[in-house]
């Protein structure tokens, strides 16, 4: 079978991109990876350890993770697309399922879960049916909302349904997060040139809610989450995570990135309730959930520079700029030209094969 041109060229771009892995091509499949072989991360920051392992055999493709705001030590998760029931699971710190909440909806491609205060002031669970393995072919996507049950018990619930469209056309997405300060929902598309999209301030269950692009996003985002106080948020990929400072609002600015512990197909990220660590999950049977401590620079603002430090930094920056003018930028220019030439050649070859 002839390989499709777009996925093949996409794989070529990944192989040449400055990320710690190469990619291979195949037709889109149900894994959510588009058939590409993605990097699996590294060792993760010092102190990273497995917090728990899912013990329920029904949880075979955990694709989202969020801490309960009502029940201490409880995490909500769900399966990805595939032969699964539309169930959301409440799991304890030992990985044991405490309750199964079945939603009276179709499971199309569930990709993320978040917990936030609803308009009625109650803690609510949001489940994002936003995946699209064929690059935005669905005319709209959906998010389901239901109040966190108390006490925890198996239940069948008819959730509130919100329909979304993208202002710039359909997208594949696996990441959703909700700002705890104002309840605003955000979606991150999973693309080479990914985007951060903001939902309307108030969601309307009776109309299409338009997602507006507000910033770019990392390559192939698979999940996202806000810090409990809203001053930070994280966007993860298969291999790592980027932390952003949103103290003054979204999109804010990137504080830095680092590898996550190696996993088969990492698709879940969340802050711990105290905001000092990340919880990183992966698909697979009996899959582990990692606790990843956050370094100090991701927990607080960078100290203000003294006048002397600022002047020194300016001097060094000026010297560096002079070096670039004298030829320091030449290797980057030549490198960029080389990459462009390879891409063009690859496209021509693939087009001829098609």
What's the pLDDT score for residue 301? 54
Residue ranges per structural domain of the chain = 5-37+304-353, 49-298
List, for residues 109-165, the tens digit of each pLDDT value: 999 999 999 999 999 999 999 998 887 788 999 999 999 999 999 999 999 999 999
**In the chain, % of residues over pLDDT 90:** 65
Q: Which residue has the higher pLDDT, 164 or 313?
A: 164
Average pLDDT (182-186) is 97
Per-residue pLDDT band at 308 (split at 50, 70, 90): very low
The predicted structure's pLDDT at residue 134: 81
Q: Are 16 and 339 in contact (CB under 8 A)?
A: yes
Judged by average pLDDT, the poorest of 8-22, 83-97, 213-227 is 8-22
| Residue reference for tokens 């990985």 | 95
- Which is more confidently placed, 112 or 317? 112
User: pLDDT digit string (tens) for 149-158?
Assistant: 999 999 999 9
pLDDT tens by residue, 194-226: 999 999 999 999 999 999 999 999 999 999 999
99 HSE (CA, 13 A, CB side) = 19
What 3-state class would DSSP assign to 342? helix
Yes or no: say if 278 and 270 are a contact pair by the CB < 8 Å rule: yes
Q: 96, 80 in Cβ contact below 8 A? A: no
Q: What is the pLDDT of residue 300?
A: 63
Higher pLDDT, 280 or 4: 280
Pick 49-298's CATH classification: 3.40.50.300, 3.20.20.80, 2.120.10.30, 3.10.20.600.
Answer: 2.120.10.30
């Amino acid at each position: 079978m002839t390989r499709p041109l777009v996925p093949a060229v996409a794989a070529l771009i990944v192989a040449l991109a400055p990320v710690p892995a190469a990619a291979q091509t195949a037709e889109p499949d149900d894994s959510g990876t588009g058939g590409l072989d993605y990097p699996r991360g590294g060792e993760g920051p010092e102190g990273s350890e497995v917090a728990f392992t899912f013990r329920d055999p029904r949880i075979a493709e955990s694709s989202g993770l969020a801490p309960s705001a009502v029940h201490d030590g409880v995490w909500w998760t769900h399966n990805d697309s595939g032969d699964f029931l539309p169930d959301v699971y409440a799991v304890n710190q030992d990985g044991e399922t405490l309750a199964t909440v079945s939603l009276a909806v179709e499971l199309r491609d569930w990709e993320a879960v978040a917990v936030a205060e609803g308009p009625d002031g109650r803690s609510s669970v949001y489940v994002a049916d936003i995946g699209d393995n064929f690059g935005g072919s669905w005319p709209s996507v959906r998010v389901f909302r239901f109040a966190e049950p108390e006490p925890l018990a198996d239940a069948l619930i008819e959730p509130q349904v919100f329909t979304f469209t993208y202002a710039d056309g359909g997208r594949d997405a696996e990441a959703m997060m909700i700002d705890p300060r104002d309840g605003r929902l955000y979606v991150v598309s999973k693309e080479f040139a990914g985007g951060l999209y903001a939902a309307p301030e108030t969601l309307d269950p009776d109309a299409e809610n338009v997602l507006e692009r507000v910033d770019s996003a990392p390559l192939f985002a698979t999940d996202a989450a806000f810090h409990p106080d809203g001053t930070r948020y994280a966007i993860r990929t298969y291999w790592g995570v980027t932390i952003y400072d949103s103290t003054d609002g979204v999109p804010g600015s990137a504080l830095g990135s680092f590898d996550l512990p190696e996993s088969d197909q990492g698709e879940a990220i969340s802050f711990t309730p105290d905001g000092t660590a990340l919880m990183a999950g992966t698909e697979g049977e009996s899959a582990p959930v990692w606790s990843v401590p956050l370094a100090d620079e991701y927990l607080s603002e960078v100290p203000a520079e003294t006048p002397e430090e600022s002047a020194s930094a300016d001097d060094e920056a000026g010297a560096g700029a002079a070096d670039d003018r004298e030829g320091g930028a030449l290797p980057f220019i030549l490198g960029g030209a080389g990459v462009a030439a390879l891409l063009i050649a690859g496209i021509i070859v693939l087009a001829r094969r098609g």
